[in-house]
Amino acid sequence: MRDKLEALGNQTLIDIEAAMDAAAIEQIRLRVFGKKGALSEVLKGLGQVSALERPQIGAFANTWKERLEEGLASRGQICEERDLDKRLAAEAVDVTAPARRLHPGSLHILTQTTRRIAAILGRLGFESASGPEIETEYFNFEAVNIPADHPARQMHDTFFIKPGHVLRTHTSSVQMRVLREKKPPIRIFAAGAVYRCEADATHSPLFHQIEGLFVDKGVRMSDLKGVLGELLSELFGTVKFRMRPSYFPFVEPGAEVDIECFKCRGVGHCQLCRSSGWIEVLGCGMVHPFLLTSAGVTDVTGFALGLGVERMAMLLHEVNDIRHMFQGDMRFLQLFRFRGY
């Protein structure tokens, strides 16, 4: 009995040392300790052992059992480590190979630019407003102080849809709709497509504008200057700007806003600013009293500003031809993939 146990124990210890993976260890465990395992088989003979010897044999068997279990556990741990190493090696991939994920596309720079400007105006308390793109002639012209015989009417080469209806030539038409629908204080911006009957390297029959309108008690021109300062410095960084008196029928006083040319800083031969040192970026002014009175709003003043999104986008991204904007060429669209908005 003792010999049998000894032989089984020693053989098992050899087997354990020879085991190379967790599966082999598990096999040995089953073979030795299983219900019908070798150990049980040997211990079946315990019945024939004298009662006197039985406790000693039992203790001897237990010692062997513990030794074998210990052996299985420690060898088992080594085998598990080996298995894991093998698995890790097998599962490794070339992490530098391209990702399977669909590459994201991009927002059009007109959208990116619109969002940048909308975000700045939004922080200044301006809310988004909109109006129809097929607009009545009245709202597009008369309502914003451009009567039929006004020279400015010819400046807008207008598309007609049906008698009395045009494709809006500017987002200023939204101003008047808002002035009539809402009560001051009004702080809105309107972004969207506008249409003019012209097409060349710098003009497109469809382009985009953003119009800001602020009407309240005691709005001053200095407020306009302050808002312009915020808007321009957020768009172009710290930049010198000036308001040059100009004429738009819906504002009085009206001004065009120039920023100092960021290419040449006003020195030397420069294509961007045509060597003037200044780049025209937007138009603005104090809301013309005609608009306020005809909307029935009294005792208030206001300012309005309007800019061309294409022009801004072309300046910000250094695009040289407006037609790129509307051709959907992937080589163009992909350029602006990583730009934030």
87-106 residues in contact with another protein (CB under 8 A) are: 97-98, 100, 102-106
Contacts with another protein in 155-174 (CB under 8 A)? 155, 159-162, 167
- Token pair, residue 220, equals 């001053």
Instruction: Quote the least distance from Cβ 119 to another protein, whole Å.
Output: 11
The CA angle 310-118-339, to the nearest 5 degrees, is: 65
Tokens 């934030």: give the residue.
Answer: 340
**229: Cβ contacts below 8 Å, ≥ 6 apart:** 241
Query: Toward Zn ion, which CB reaches closer, 48 or 238?
Result: 238
DSSP letter at 102 equals P
| Residues between 264 and 283 with contacts to Zn ion, criterion CB under 5 A | 264, 270, 272-273
- Asked if 265 touches another protein (CB under 8 A), the answer is no
Site string (234-263) toward Zn ion, x via CB under 5 A: ---------------------------x-x
Q: Does 340 bind another protein (CB under 8 A)?
A: no
Q: Are strands 241-246 and 251-260 parallel, antiparallel or unpaired?
A: antiparallel
Identify which of residues 213 and 273 has a Cβ nearer to Zn ion in the complex.
Answer: 273
Q: Which does 264 bind (CB under 5 to 8 A by kind): Zn ion, another protein, none?
A: Zn ion
The residues in 268-297 that bind another protein, with binding defined as CB under 8 A, are 286, 288-289
**Can you say how many angstroms the Cα of residue 71 is from the centroid of all Cα atoms in its chain?**
59
127-129 and 186-195 beta bridge pairing: parallel
Please list every residue from 183 through 242 that binds another protein, using CB under 8 A: 185, 187, 192-193, 197-199, 204-206, 214, 216, 218-223, 225-227, 229-230, 242
Looking only at residues 30 through 49 of this chain, which bind Zn ion when binding is defined by CB under 5 A? Answer: none
Tell me the closest approach of the beta carbon of residue 316 to another protein, in angstroms. 16
Q: What is the DSSP string of 131-190?
A: --SEEEHHHHTGGGT--TT-HHHHHS-PPEEETTEEE-SSTHHHHHHHHHHS-SSEEEEE
- Collapse the DSSP code of 105 into the 3-class scheme (helix H, G, I; strand E, B; otherwise coil) and give the result: coil
User: Among 111, 136, 233, 294, which residue sits at the site for another protein (rule: CB under 8 A)?
Assistant: 111
Burial category of 36 from C-beta neighbours within 10 Å (exposed 0-12, middle 13-18, buried 19 and up): exposed
Give yes or no for residue 244 binding another protein (CB under 8 A).
Answer: yes
Binding site for Zn ion (CB under 5 A): 261, 263-264, 270, 272-273
